[in-house]
Amino acid sequence: MPISRNALWISAAALLLLPALMSMLGLGLTSATEVVIFALACMALNILVGFTGLVSFGHGAWFGLAAYAAALAQLHLFPKSFWLPLAFALSTIALISWGFGYLILRRRGVYFSLLTLALCAMLYAIAFRWTAVTGGENGLGGITRPIWMGFDLEEKFAFYSIVSFIAIVTIYGLWRFHRSPVGSVLLAIRENEQRASFIGYETNRFKLIAFVISATITGLAGVLLLFNNRMTSAEPISVVFSGELLAMLVIGGMRSFLGPALGALFYVIFRDLLSSLTEDWLLYFGLLFVFVVILFVRFLMFSFFLICIVVCVVLLFLCIVAVAGVIVVAAADVLVFVVDAAVVVVVVVVCVK
């Protein structure tokens, strides 16, 4: 079933209302910007996981590599620029992911997942130890947001506006991509790759296209987070961050177009709220994650029946109130009649006497 155009309107409305929602929860524009960025990364990962059936355990590698590429580009090649480091990073990620994807996609299933995990671990070790280039555990700082077309990107609202514009354009591109013939072939590969190859599709080529597009959009999210934080480190390349992306994806729904965005919203809200209450927020977030994954369907069924019961009880109560109201009105009328009759009798008796 093709993705409805309503998804675009829902996305635009969500981007407009997100700052107000985060403000109501006591969070700021920085958190709202992170929600949009992580939503892009999760929707990019969903190209592989949800629409192609390829589970990547190392997608954070593209997120972190793009951030490093953009940071180095601004520090050494394009100072005080936003779009040129962004373009440089996306071109770099597209090229590198094409090379690695050509090799990794020769394996299927769990072997593909393990190769992405190994790639992520290898790149994290390089980024963490190559201090002269990456800054090691201290990361790379000194990133600036320039003024573009009269918008000072150092201001939070201006930067959120730019990120939202990039996000809605990217979501529109993903919407067109999933509705295209290539998107249909990817769904066929997800359902049965062998049958897709039997009817003449070169499945490896289509999987490589999905891999490169997914990695590039994930890199786009990494660059936006770089400018949001004005620095980057090796942490996004770690296996842990890749697991967080998968967790957001699972929470929101792997076969849904906008589901990953909901997962990102859930993650950022509970991360910020729980971390403000306790240092062990990951423990409670993990418990919430387990609850959502294991009990979500049962919770929905329980909620449905609970809502039905509540509605029935409310309707029964209203009926009782209505019937009681009718009885009370009738009793009041009878009482008034009796009182009037008694008064008439008293008057008659007095007159006779």
Confidence check: pLDDT of 349 > 50:
no
pLDDT band (50, 70, 90) for residue 351: very low
Q: Check pLDDT > 70 for residue 315.
A: no
State the total domains in the chain.
2
Total-model pTM = 0.79
- Per-residue confidence band for 352, with pLDDT thresholds at 50, 70 and 90: very low
Residue range 134-159: average pLDDT? 79
Q: Are residues 317 and 213 in the same domain?
A: no
Judged against a pLDDT cut of 80, whether residue 259 lies above it is answered with yes
Does residue 298 sit in the same domain as residue 260? Answer: no
> Is residue 172 domain-shared with residue 244, that is, in the same domain?
yes
Position 130 in a domain? yes
pLDDT of 308 higher than 70:
no
Cα dist. 53→28, 49, 163 in Å?
A: 36, 5, 29
pLDDT digits (tens, 9 = 90+) for 38-66: 999 999 999 998 888 888 888 889 998 99
Mean pLDDT of the region 71-99: 90
pLDDT at residue 347 in the model: 39
Residue 298: per-residue pLDDT? 54
Task: Determine the pLDDT at residue 91.
Answer: 93
What local confidence, expressed as pLDDT, does residue 321 receive?
Answer: 60
For residue 256, give every residue at least 6 positions away whose Cβ sits within 8 Å of its Cβ, in sequence order, or none: 50
Same domain flag for 196 and 329:
no
pLDDT at 346 (0 to 100) = 39
Mean pLDDT of the chain: 80
Specify if 195 maps to a domain. Answer: yes
Is 184 found in the same domain as 111? yes
Q: 216 and 329 in one domain? A: no
Q: Mean of the pLDDT values across residues 202-213? A: 90
Instruction: Say what percent of the chain tops pLDDT 90.
Output: 19
Q: Is residue 1 part of a domain?
A: no
**pLDDT over 80 at 244, yes or no:** yes
> Residue by residue, what is the 3-state secondary structure of the chain?
CCCCCHHHHHHHHHHHHHHHHHHHCCCCHHHHHHHHHHHHHHHHHHHHHCCCCCCCCCCHHHHHHHHHHHHHHHHHCCCCCCHHHHHHHHHHHHHHHHHHHHHHCCCCHHHHHHHHHHHHHHHHHHHHHCHHHHCHHHCECCCCCCEECCEECCCHHHHHHHHHHHHHHHHHHHHHHHHCHHHHHHHHHHHHHHHHHHCCCCHHHHHHHHHHHHHHHHHHHHHHHHHHHCCECCHHHCHHHHHHHHHHHHHHCCCCCCHHHHHHHHHHHHHHHHHCCCCCHHHHHHHHHHHHHHHHHHHHHHHHHHHHHHHHHHHHHHHHHHHHHHHHHHHHHHHHHHHHHHHHHHHHHHHHC
By C-alpha distance, which of 283, 261, 262 is closest to 271? 283
Q: Which domain holds residue 95?
A: 6-277
Q: What is the mean pLDDT of residues 276-288?
A: 76
Q: Is residue 287 part of a domain?
A: no
Return the closest-CA partner of residue 57 out of 144, 126, 115: 115
